[in-house]
Amino acid sequence: MRTTCTHRGGWAARTRGEARCRDCGTVRFTEYAALRPPGLPHALTPKPRDARRADRAAVMWIANLPRRRVRASD
């Protein structure tokens, strides 16, 4: 997403480590100066239990790959 705002209106401190452009609403992460335009979805972090289950399922799926037979089409 491109924005034509040059952020000349300045940055309003929102929370510690974040500032918001007064003109367009872009969030600037002040710790490393990354920009996040408004309207993007927020990242969701799974619960540790769910992440472990997903990792274990992926490992099991990969571990069983050599045992699977691939059918060649005739």
* Chain segment 9-63, per-residue pLDDT in tens: 888 887 778 888 888 888 887 777 567 777 877 777 788 899 899 999 999 888 8
The answer as to whether 3 is a domain residue is no
Any domain includes 72:
no
Phi, psi (deg, nearest 5) at residue 47: -65, 150
Q: Is residue 58 part of a domain?
A: yes
Distance CA 47, CA 23 (A): 36
Domain range spanning residue 19? Answer: 11-67
Domain count, the chain: 1
Query: Looking at the domain assignment, is residue 6 inside a domain?
Result: no
Residue 38 placed within a domain = yes
17 occurs within a structural domain: yes
Question: The pTM is what?
Answer: 0.40
* 14 close to 33: Cβ distance less than 8 angstroms: no
Q: How many CA atoms lie within 13 A of 62 on its CB side?
A: 6
The contacts of residue 1 (CB under 8 Å, 6+ apart) are 37, 39, 40
Residue 40 lies in a domain: yes
